[in-house]
Amino acid sequence: MSLKEINNRIREAEITYARKLGSAKLIAVSKVQPNNRIEAVLEQGHRIFGENRIQEAQSKWPDFKEQFEGIELHIIGPLQTNKTRAAMELADCIHTLDRTKLATTMARIAQELGKCPELFVQVNTGDEPQKSGVSPKETQAFVKECLDMDLPIKGLMCIPPVNEEASLHFALLKNIAEDCGLSDLSMGMSSDFEKAISFGATHVRVGSAIFGDRVKSPGQ
């Protein structure tokens, strides 16, 4: 599926669900993709990209940012505390704020840098023990804690359990965000982004449908 087709489907979903045109941003997930594929998408005019790993992002995005204006880089994978500074220096938005230790570290580094990326709190809507994220019942208190640290919390993010109906989790995330006074929702991937848009998604994540199948890193 081409970038144009994905964008057309997003626009159609916005119209279908009475959303403002352009209110759902497409994050092109470029993790484990070779630079030539990323460059081809950049040449088509797309500027919003998502990476999972800081080390991989550092290896390619500084150069791309020099070549192409207006790139918006989102970190969408789990963030280790010791990688916080690197992430905050490179990224425009981080979608995986999920614990007090990370929030405290971000607040300190933001003071040192004089800037902070926009932040999404990751919510573990299925309360899955193997998955990162704040429990739904603890999210409102955690968001308040982060705001009290002057962190720029933009919205909430979730990745629904694989074997459960995604719409239930999209609806839950939307309700929690409303309780928190937040408007942005990072949810929906290749298989369900239109459904996510129907529940108010402002950021959807699509990878292989744009770039092709991922290229495995050495050793995988």
What are the residue boundaries of the structural domains of the chain, listed by start?
3-211
Say whether pLDDT at 79 is over 90: yes
Position 67, amino acid: Q
For the chain, give the mean pLDDT.
95
Name the H helices within the chain: 3-16, 35-43, 54-67, 84-90, 100-113, 136-148, 166-180, 193-198, 208-211
pLDDT by residue (tens digit) across 10-60? 999 999 999 999 999 999 999 989 999 999 999 999 999 999 999 999 999
pTM of the predicted model as reported, rounded to 2 decimal places: 0.94
- Tell me which architecture the domain covering 3-211 has in CATH: Alpha-Beta Barrel (3.20)
- The per-residue pLDDT for 219 is 45
Residue length of the chain: 220
- The per-residue pLDDT for 209 is 86
Say whether pLDDT at 220 is over 60: no
Instruction: Calculate mean pLDDT across residues 83-93.
Output: 98
